[in-house]
Amino acid sequence: MYGNVGRKTAFAAAIVSTATRSFVHGCNHGLGRVFPVTNIHAAPTRRPLVPTSRSFNTDYLFTEASAKIIDGNSVARDIRDEMATEISKMKESSGVVPGLGVILVGDRKDSATYVENKKIACEAVGINSYKVHLPEDSSELEVLKHISGFNDDPSVNGILVQLPLPSHMNEQNILNAVRIEKDVDGLNPLNIGLLAMLDREPLFVPCTPKGCMELLHRYGFSIEGKRAVVIGRSNIVGLPAALLLQREYATVTVVQRGTKNPAEVTREADILISAVGQPNLIRGSWIKPGSVVIDVGINPIKDDTSPQGYRMVGDICFEEASKIASAITPVPGGVGPMTIAMLLSNTLISAKRANQCFQNGTGPAKAIKNWSTLLSETSSKTGGTKNW
């Protein structure tokens, strides 16, 4: 899904050497998608690595940081508090408690940490968390069996399969086994298709791009009429982020493998979202003065001064970009906390929707039949969308 590592490394080298073609396809940031630490020196240079156009004034570059920090930790905390209140009221009025089922295969410490963090977040807002932990050598059939169990369990409103899976398993087959009404990752093809269509609403929006949009909304940044650039076209972040921006009438460009002169494209962006998975790839010379910058990347780089031996940085060189942009997300503490908050939000949405279906029907079969009705009702409430 993220592309070949060698190709991505080649892409980074091509950008730095000012080649005109770039490979921007995947992203390290997802719901627990984890990668080994890369031994890449992240210290920025004071010289822009990409030649600037003649019309691009660089006199102000690399002065004092002036960008507002978009604090994902603070926003995520507010969202969790709001959800905790709503879940408490739901439990009192109907006895319904949202539930999230998580399947972890193997003994990767990083994956186990992600799962534990999600469990803690669930408990904090009142969502029940159900975990299945299978050994590394489990068969694909065993994983599918547990997914089927969660699919049929009315107390489970959302299902998350922790990635990456062992190499002997078919990730697509396993993810496709999750019922769409419990696909709180929002990655089912039908969800993405509905997101792309006018006058339609997906059952769920993918968590990370949903979190990006929530940050823009809560900080009051205008989207309609703005030029937005999304770097990366992954199914997890890039594609849905571009679709969400289009829905709010931004003029959107996606920078990807075939994009020529990507730095010139990004310098036109009033809103820049990067989801590449390459540390400090986007330099200050790529940033439009006064733009809003959302950095989805979360990349471990070697740092001998850190107790862990590494530290996390984004796709965008924060030291340089923060001196040019008007607002920027830090890494860590920007998009990351929002991803988990949106996972909890989607689980709550699923629980409310399921409860509504059961109130209107007699059981699971009737509830499933009502999904299309709910979609139609949601679309009719939008009041129609302009065709251009």
3-state secondary structure 326-365: CEECCCCCCHHHHHHHHHHHHHHHHHHHHHHHHHHCCCHH
CA–CA separation, 325 vs 68, rounded Å? 8
Alpha carbon separation from 98 to 14, 90, 102, 132, 362 (Å, rounded): 47, 9, 13, 17, 19
For 238, the token pair is 């890039």
Catalytic residue numbers? 118, 162, 185
In whole angstroms, give the CA distance from residue 43 to residue 308.
18
Structure tokens at 203: 């059952």
Q: Kindly list the distances between the CA atom of residue 323 and the CA atoms of 64, 172, 286, in Å, as whole numbers in the listed order.
A: 6, 41, 12
CB atoms within 10 A of CB 95: 8
Backbone phi, psi, residue 258, to 5°: -90, 5
Number of continuous H segments (helices) and E segments (strands) in the chain: 12, 11
